[in-house]
Structure 1
């Protein structure tokens, strides 16, 4: 059961990383950074949720993995390229 949770969480992290790269390609770093960050974030989220809930909660563990992976990937997002220019007098 734990192997299934770990494998499912890594696959969810990779899928979320792929979706983030498709949606925000110019605001994320290189793929070699995004894919490991998403999968490791999901694996850590699965571990954290499995520790909190215990065994037998596969759906809850996968939801926790998805949440932590999304938070991890959101930390990689850079600001948009449009910046406000301030005048020298301000």
Structure 2
């Protein structure tokens, strides 16, 4: 078994999280698929919300009341709709992201 300190050291030394974040970016094909069935404003909300969650975290967004409960829930539902629309024809493998908090 390895220690958390060693694991963190390896992740940071080889910049593994940066590589994984890069792989997690939405690509043009996904956005084009979503545009066929969703409003542009909703796609913008999804992409912006996903970025805020990635940078700040869901817990902080809720604890600091950046979103009202209903708005937060609506964003989560939009993400589900977006994911459903971009994955209709194929199952995309989920990307691994390792938080170092």
Q: TM-score, normalised by structure 1?
A: 0.31
Q: TM-score, normalised by structure 2?
A: 0.29
